[in-house]
């Protein structure tokens, strides 16, 4: 049985995919506002062209924010599915649309809403009220739809149905099942809407009533949960659900919509990410051994600039998280205090991605008292520098530049090969990796034997930290290059053999003996496994790209039940097998390499 951590971690990773669209949404929406492209002076200079662009950008950004529920349904489903397959995304859309439209039909409209409508407009008023109400919980519905779709894909993407229903088997079954599950969601949200809305409103009121205490707890937990990856779930609650401003819910959405009270759950990150952690990098540089300062200076400068400009902090945090847990606890407390200080000063800042300079400048005119960030940030820089320098020296922490000579030797040796191959070697080879994926700053891996992972070698290759959430799960913190490195590792392994999923893989369904024999015979008739470059299926046929077309035995294929063999192009062949084509393709893929 999976632990709660193993269940929740894949969700935290999957949430990063839809969240990745927020920076472009925030940028487009911001450019379309009246103090940027919509500014009267700019409109006069451009002959009205800037107003046209402002309308386009504003509408484009609004379209993304207005459909976040659907985006989360797709993103979470794809993020959870084995191989990140698009069929799961389609299933997420189906579940979300069925759930929202079904709930729309069931939600009871208060009599006073219809009573306020002018004669002849009742239907429009009711429809508008329902759309606004559903919008309040569209993101939770989207996340649930994505969870259901991704789980259904992992469980039923290889399901076999009787031959007369074989067309609907395999991956095609997943959207069907998701639609039925969406009906269940519609019933829950439709009949239970009043209770759900009251619950969210009560939670919002509780958070508001908790004031500075609630902000402090949120700031501390946000940092402490980074090691597990569960901070994304916490962030989604406060950034996308709590509060309501003209239909926009969540601190981030309300800030983007112009709510002057929004930003309390974002402002406190700016002093830490733009000033505090870069100052910590400076402290690490100054405490490095003199002969190593030049070597680590570039890396620490890069980490500091990444944090200052973009608000991506995990590479810095993992450089000391395990070396000095107490120091990291102080960092978490300072983050909580920053949330409180900024709130007491009535500073309201917001972001579309994270608390870096880019978001600060972009949202400067929408913020409340944004210049107060400068003195608070400088004070935080001083505190972080003094605390980090003292702790590093006092406890002789092996931060970058203070490592033993052996680690430096390892790093020189590791740099000899290609990066993907080097990481693959450090991770125990291709046979030790069941799954390779990445989120914003981490490799997320499933290994067959954690004892085969060479941690010193990984750190020599640039790993800022290594986390073991469970017996087989492994996370390697690399910074923004994590996704690139994951791709290079997959390429070094042969790419297609690694499922791009951070979930603990479901056991592959066993291939029945008859299917295995049939699959082996088909492969032989196609010239052997070495002759098959790619294999797919569509409705009733196998689609195969081969290396040597002359190696194909058409007579043998027809003996095996092929109803037709068509050569499409020089190396592409279609083998018509009837409704069982999908099942046969899956059986071939499951054969040992």
Give DSSP secondary structure letters for 464-502. Answer: SEEE-SSSSEEEEE--TTHHHHHHHHHHHHTSTTSB---
Cα–Cα distance measured from residue 456 to residue 454, given in angstroms and rounded to the nearest whole number? 6
CATH number at residue 441: 3.30.1360.60
Helical ranges in 157-292 per DSSP H: 173-191, 193-224, 231-240, 251-256, 264-267, 269-270, 277-286
> Are β-strands 564-568 and 248-249 bridged in parallel, bridged antiparallel, or unpaired?
unpaired
What pLDDT is stored for residue 506 in this prediction? Answer: 41
What pLDDT is stored for residue 568 in this prediction? Answer: 75
Kindly state whether residues 366 and 417 are assigned to the same domain: no
- Given a contact cutoff of 8 angstroms between Cβ atoms, the answer to whether 560 and 518 are in contact is yes
What pLDDT is stored for residue 8 in this prediction? Answer: 62
By CB neighbour count within 10 A (0-12 exposed, 13-18 middle, 19+ buried), where does 395 fall? Answer: exposed
The range of the structural domain enclosing residue 533 comes to 513-589
Average model confidence (pLDDT) for the chain? Answer: 84
What pLDDT is stored for residue 494 in this prediction? Answer: 65
- Is the residue at 28 inside a domain? yes
Kindly state whether residues 420 and 358 are assigned to the same domain: no
Kindly state whether residues 304 and 177 are assigned to the same domain: no
Kindly state whether residues 163 and 30 are assigned to the same domain: yes
Bridge partners (DSSP) of residue 249 are 244
Cα–Cα distance measured from residue 339 to residue 372, given in angstroms and rounded to the nearest whole number? 13
Bridge partners (DSSP) of residue 537 are 542
- What are phi and psi for residue 362, nearest 5 degrees? -60, -40
Transcribe 576-589 into DSSP letters: E-GGGHHHHHHHHH
538 is catalytic: no
Kindly state whether residues 56 and 87 are assigned to the same domain: yes
What pLDDT is stored for residue 440 in this prediction? Answer: 66
- Is the residue at 520 inside a domain? yes
- Is the residue at 554 inside a domain? yes
Kindly state whether residues 84 and 143 are assigned to the same domain: yes
- Is the residue at 247 inside a domain? no
Q: How many CB atoms lie within 10 A of CB 17?
A: 21
- Which one of 439, 489, 502, 584 is the catalytic residue? 439
| Alpha carbon separation from 362 to 53, 251, 313, 327, 502 (Å, rounded) | 17, 17, 20, 32, 33
Bridge partners (DSSP) of residue 272 are none
Residue 524 makes CB contacts below 8 A (sequence gap 6+) with 553, 556
What pLDDT is stored for residue 409 in this prediction? Answer: 46
| SS3 state at 309 | helix
- Is the residue at 196 inside a domain? yes
pTM for the structure as a whole: 0.65
Taking the CA of residue 123 as centre, how many other CA atoms within 13 Å lie in the half-sphere pointing to its CB? 1
- Is the residue at 508 inside a domain? no
Kindly state whether residues 60 and 188 are assigned to the same domain: yes
What pLDDT is stored for residue 125 in this prediction? Answer: 84
Kindly state whether residues 15 and 88 are assigned to the same domain: yes
Q: What are the average pLDDT values for consecutive 10-residue runs of the chain, which has 593 residues?
A: 59 76 83 83 88 91 89 92 87 96 89 73 83 83 93 90 84 94 94 83 76 92 80 82 83 90 94 97 93 86 91 83 83 96 96 90 93 97 95 86 60 56 88 78 82 86 78 80 83 55 40 69 89 81 86 87 80 83 83 73
What is the domain count for the chain? 4
Cα–Cα distance measured from residue 60 to residue 79, given in angstroms and rounded to the nearest whole number? 24
- Is the residue at 255 inside a domain? no
Kindly state whether residues 121 and 73 are assigned to the same domain: yes
Transcribe 15-26 into DSSP letters: THHHHTTHHHHH
Kindly state whether residues 390 and 410 are assigned to the same domain: no
Q: How many CB atoms lie within 10 A of CB 406?
A: 10
- Is the residue at 155 inside a domain? yes
Kindly state whether residues 451 and 470 are assigned to the same domain: yes
Kindly state whether residues 14 and 120 are assigned to the same domain: yes
- Given a contact cutoff of 8 angstroms between Cβ atoms, the answer to whether 146 and 19 are in contact is no
């Amino acid at each position: 049985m999976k632990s709660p951590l193993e269940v929740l971690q894949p969700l935290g990773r999957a949430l990063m995919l839809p969240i990745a669209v927020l920076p472009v949404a925030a940028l487009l929406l911001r450019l379309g506002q009246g103090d940027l492209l919509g500014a009267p002076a700019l409109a006069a200079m451009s002959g009205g062209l800037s107003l046209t662009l402002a309308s386009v950008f504003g509408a484009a950004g609004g379209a993304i924010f207005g459909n976040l529920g659907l985006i989360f349904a797709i993103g979470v489903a794809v993020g959870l599915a084995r191989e990140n397959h698009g069929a799961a995304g389609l299933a997420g859309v189906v579940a979300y649309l069925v759930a929202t439209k079904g709930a729309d039909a069931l939600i009871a409209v208060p009599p006073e809403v219809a009573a306020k409508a002018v004669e002849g407009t009742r239907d429009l008023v009711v429809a508008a009220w329902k759309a606004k109400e559903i919008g309040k919980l569209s993101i939770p519905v989207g996340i649930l739809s994505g969870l259901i779709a991704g789980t259904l894909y992992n469980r039923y993407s290889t399901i076999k149905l009787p031959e007369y229903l074989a067309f609907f088997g395999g991956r095609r079954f997943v959207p069907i099942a998701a639609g039925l599950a969406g009906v269940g969601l519609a019933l829950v949200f439709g009949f239970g809407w009043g209770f759900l809305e009251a619950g969210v409103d009560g939670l919002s009121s509780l958070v508001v009533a908790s004031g500075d205490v609630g902000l402090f707890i949120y700031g501390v937990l946000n940092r402490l949960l980074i090691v597990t990856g569960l901070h994304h779930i916490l962030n989604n609650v406060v950034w996308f659900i709590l509060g309501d401003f003209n239909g926009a819910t969540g601190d981030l959405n309300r800030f983007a919509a112009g709510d002057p009270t929004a930003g309390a759950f974002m402002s406190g990150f700016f002093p830490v990410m733009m000033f505090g952690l870069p100052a910590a990098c400076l402290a690490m540089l100054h405490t490095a051994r003199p002969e190593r300062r030049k070597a680590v200076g570039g890396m620490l400068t890069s980490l500091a600039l990444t944090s200052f400009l973009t608000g991506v902090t995990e590479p810095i945090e993992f450089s000391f998280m395990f070396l000095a847990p107490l120091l990291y606890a102080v960092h978490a407390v300072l983050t909580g205090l920053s949330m409180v200080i900024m709130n007491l000063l009535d500073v309201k800042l917001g972001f579309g991605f994270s608390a870096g300079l880019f978001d600060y400048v972009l949202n400067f005119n929408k913020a409340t008292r944004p210049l107060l960030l400068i003195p608070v940030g400088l004070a935080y820089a001083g505190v972080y520098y003094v605390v980090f320098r003292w702790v590093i020296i006092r406890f002789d922490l092996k931060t970058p530049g203070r490592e033993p000579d052996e680690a430096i030797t390892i790093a020189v040796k590791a740099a000899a090969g290609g990066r993907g191959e080097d990481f693959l070697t450090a991770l125990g080879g291709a046979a030790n990796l069941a799954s390779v994926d990445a989120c914003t700053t981490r490799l997320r891996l499933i290994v067959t034997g954690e004892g085969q992972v060479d941690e010193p070698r990984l750190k020599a290759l640039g790993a800022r930290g290594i986390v073991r959430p469970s017996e087989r799960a492994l996370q390697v913190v690399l910074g923004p290059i994590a996704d690139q490195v994951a791709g290079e590792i997959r390429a070094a392994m042969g790419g297609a053999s690694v499922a791009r999923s951070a979930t603990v893989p479901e056991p592959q369904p066993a291939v029945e003996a008859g299917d295995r024999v049939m699959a082996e015979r088909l492969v032989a008739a196609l010239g052997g496994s070495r002759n098959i470059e790619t294999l797919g299926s569509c409705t009733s046929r196998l689609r195969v790209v081969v290396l040597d077309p002359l190696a194909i035995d058409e007579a043998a294929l027809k003996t095996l039940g092929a109803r037709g063999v068509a050569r499409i192009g020089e190396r592409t062949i279609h083998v018509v097998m009837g409704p069982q084509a999908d099942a046969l393709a899956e059986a071939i893929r499951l054969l040992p390499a």
